[in-house]
Chains A and B, each alone.
Chain A
Amino acid sequence: MPLDRSFIGRSYPPAPVYEVGREKIREFADAVGATSALHRDPEEARLAGYRDVVAPPTFAVILSASANSVVVDDPDLGIDYSRVVHGEQRFVHHRPITAGDRLVAAIHVDEIITKLGNDFLTVRAEITTEAGEPVTTVTAMLVARGKEES
């Protein structure tokens, strides 16, 4: 059954605060093979003009993917998660994420399209500081594959 398009425009309240840690940035940088000293050395980062070590460009997926689960797991929307694949991803950084940031992610359902039995769901996470300063906008398009017709 196609997803309910009345969910378009729906917002979900921010997830609990995520505090960005130096060691988490280092761990993520190691996992994606990013060797820059700016991920690891606070002194280098300060010399380059940052408050602390900076996160790799896709680090914010840690926040957005976990925040997106409020939509994916919403029983009223009724997505079958075992049929969901990741279609597209976009990050727009309003300023760099650095260690010590205390961030929240508010989720918005931007689009639901049903095409050839598959549902295409576009979810946007607005990541801000606790005080509301814009940090990163993360947009993900998820595809819920329809059941094959027999």
Chain B
Amino acid sequence: MTRLRVADVAEGDELPPLTVRVTRADLVRYAGASGDFNPIHWNERIAREVGLPGVIAHGMLTMALANRLVSDWVGDPAAVIECAARFVRPIPVPDDDIGARLEIGGKVAEVSADGTAKVTMTVRVDGKQVLGRPTARVALG
């Protein structure tokens, strides 16, 4: 288990992309793990009552998946010293076994003299960005 080194990373490098399917079962698992039991993430009736198209994914689950791309690439999850995102579009998760399909990508935006790199990610569902400016800063080895 080794971290990427500064010498191995250059501005413009693309991270290996990731496709993730998120089902209702994944939402229930994330609710339990995170303690976020907001019913809009598991109860169709309540989601519709508050004006949503149906059950939607936790924004924080989407953000965690975007950072999984970065952790896998850098080789050490604790190398991610900063991460941020805006939640710009809800992700409806249908009540089937297929779920929603998230396409996650990332690129090295900057390598700094202090041995850190800034990564910008993209998370798309049906071709549309669901996170606004998701970024991470990683400490390289």
Tell me the bound Cα distance from A22 to B136 in angstroms: 25
Interfacial residues of chain B within 22-76, with CB under 8 A of chain A in the complex: 26, 29-30, 32-36, 50, 59-61, 63-65, 67-68, 70-72, 76
Tell me the bound Cα distance from A87 to B80 in angstroms: 21
Q: A109 at interface (Cβ–Cβ under 8 A)?
A: no
State whether B71 touches A34 (Cβ < 8 A): yes
Q: Which residue of B lies closest to A96 (CB)?
A: B78
State whether A62 touches B35 (Cβ < 8 A): yes
Least distance between B33 CB and chain A CB atoms (Å): 4
State whether B83 touches A32 (Cβ < 8 A): no
Interfacial residues of chain A within 46-60, with CB under 8 A of chain B in the complex: 47-48, 50, 54-58
State whether B59 touches A89 (Cβ < 8 A): yes
Residue-wise, chain B 74-111 has the 8 Å CB interface mask toward A (1 for contact) of 00111011111111000000000000000000000000
State whether B80 touches A93 (Cβ < 8 A): yes
Least distance between A49 CB and chain B CB atoms (Å): 9
Q: Which residue of A lies closest to B36 (CB)?
A: A65
Cβ of B50: which chain A residues have Cβ within 8 Å of it? 82
State whether B64 touches A57 (Cβ < 8 A): yes
A56: contacting residue among B59, B67, B81, CB under 8 A: B67
Tell me the bound Cα distance from A21 to B132 in angstroms: 32
Interfacial residues of chain A within 1-60, with CB under 8 A of chain B in the complex: 24, 27-28, 30-39, 44, 47-48, 50, 54-58
Additional 6 contacts, C-beta under 8 A, given A38-B77, A90-B84:
A30-B33, A57-B70, A58-B64, A86-B87, A89-B87, A91-B84
A-B contact pairs, 8 of them (CB 8 A): A33-B68, A37-B1, A47-B1, A54-B77, A57-B136, A87-B86, A89-B60, A91-B83
